[in-house]
């Protein structure tokens, strides 16, 4: 579906990570056509609203940037209301809700996740500097999303707005943007599409709910999006 949101996505130019040049196509179009040869794979860069754009609070402590790049993606859900408001404004309000929860209730210095994906498919930066390091494809902001097995030191944490441990399924817009975002992260950091996990793989938690059951599909669609 072509909407204002997808139009705003920008072509990720070939060369960033050695991808071949090709025409820009929405991620969903590529996923629907897995027979496309790898050499014609293309990828659009997701449009990510920075902390400044959603009016984040400043962090209460220093942000640590690790020089070792991430080796995996860990998917989460935020256990917020499964809203039917798919607007960008709702994505920003939700980002502020997550930050308040993590700073005021958990006592953390900032949002624990690196990125948050709204039910309407709007992506917001989580912890400050996550977007700059992703864009550079260099360095990992030390997050607070998966304490098990030291994964905060190794993994990019992407969380999805909503609660998915009780039978709910993600809206199409959210799923498509998750695929696109994971593909972009994989390209930027040279992470194989097989290295996408769920929070429950490392901690005793129900997070990320049904997204965990959908990980094989997510890995497949990301692999297709990045051309193999």
User: How many CA atoms does the CB half-sphere of 33 hold within 13 Å?
Assistant: 12
Q: If binding means CB under 5 A, how many residues of this protein chain bind Zn ion?
A: 3
Kindly tell me which of 114 and 199 has the beta carbon lying closer to Zn ion. Answer: 199
CB of 33 to Zn ion, least distance (A): 32
Decide: 77 and 163 in contact? Cβ < 8 Å.
Answer: yes
78 Rama class: left (phi>0) / alpha (psi -120 to 50) / beta: alpha
CB of 197 to Zn ion, least distance (A): 11
CB of 208 to Zn ion, least distance (A): 6
Stretch that binds Zn ion, among 29-37, 86-94, 116-124, 200-208 (CB under 5 A): 200-208
Kindly tell me which of 179 and 207 has the beta carbon lying closer to Zn ion. Answer: 207
Decide: 11 and 27 in contact? Cβ < 8 Å.
Answer: no
Binding characters for Zn ion, 51-90, by CB under 5 A (x = yes): -------------------------x--------------
Binding characters for Zn ion, 149-188, by CB under 5 A (x = yes): ----------------------------------------
Residue 46 carries which DSSP code? P
Binding characters for Zn ion, 110-149, by CB under 5 A (x = yes): ----------------------------------------
CB of 200 to Zn ion, least distance (A): 8
Q: Say how many C-beta atoms besides its own lie within 10 A of residue 118's C-beta.
A: 29
207 binds Zn ion (CB under 5 A): yes
Kindly tell me which of 186 and 207 has the beta carbon lying closer to Zn ion. Answer: 207
CA distances (Å), origin 20, targets 15, 39, 159, 222, 224: 7, 6, 30, 16, 14
Decide: 34 and 17 in contact? Cβ < 8 Å.
Answer: no
Question: What are the φ and ψ backbone dihedral angles of 96, each rounded to 5 degrees?
Answer: -70, -35
CB of 182 to Zn ion, least distance (A): 15
What kind and span of H or E run contains 30? Answer: helix 27-31
Q: CA 168 to CA 210: how far, in whole Å?
A: 7
Kindly tell me which of 45 and 110 has the beta carbon lying closer to Zn ion. Answer: 110
CB of 199 to Zn ion, least distance (A): 3
Q: Say how many C-beta atoms besides its own lie within 10 A of residue 52's C-beta.
A: 10
Binding site for Zn ion (CB under 5 A): 76, 199, 207
């Amino acid at each position: 579906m072509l909407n204002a949101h997808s139009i705003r996505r920008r072509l990720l130019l070939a060369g960033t990570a050695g991808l071949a040049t090709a025409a820009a196509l929405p991620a969903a179009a590529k996923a629907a056509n897995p027979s496309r040869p790898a050499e014609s794979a293309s990828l659009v860069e997701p449009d990510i609203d920075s902390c400044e754009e959603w009016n984040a609070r400043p962090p209460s402590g220093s942000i640590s940037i690790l020089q070792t790049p991430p080796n995996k993606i860990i998917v989460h859900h935020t256990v917020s209301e499964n809203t039917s408001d798919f607007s960008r404004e709702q994505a920003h309000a939700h980002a502020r809700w997550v930050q308040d929860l993590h700073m005021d209730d958990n006592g953390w210095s900032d949002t624990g996740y690196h990125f948050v994906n709204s039910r309407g498919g709007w992506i917001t930066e989580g912890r400050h500097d996550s977007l700059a390091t992703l864009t550079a494809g260099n360095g990992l902001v030390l997050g607070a999303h998966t304490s098990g097995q030291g994964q905060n030191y190794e993994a990019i944490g992407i969380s999805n707005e909503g609660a998915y441990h009780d039978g709910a399924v993600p809206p199409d817009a959210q799923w498509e943007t998750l695929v696109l975002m994971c593909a972009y992260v994989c390209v930027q950091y040279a992470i194989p599409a097989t290295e996408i996990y769920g929070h429950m793989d490392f901690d005793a938690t129900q997070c990320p709910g049904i997204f965990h059951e959908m990980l094989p599909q997510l890995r497949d669609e990301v692999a297709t999006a990045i051309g193999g």
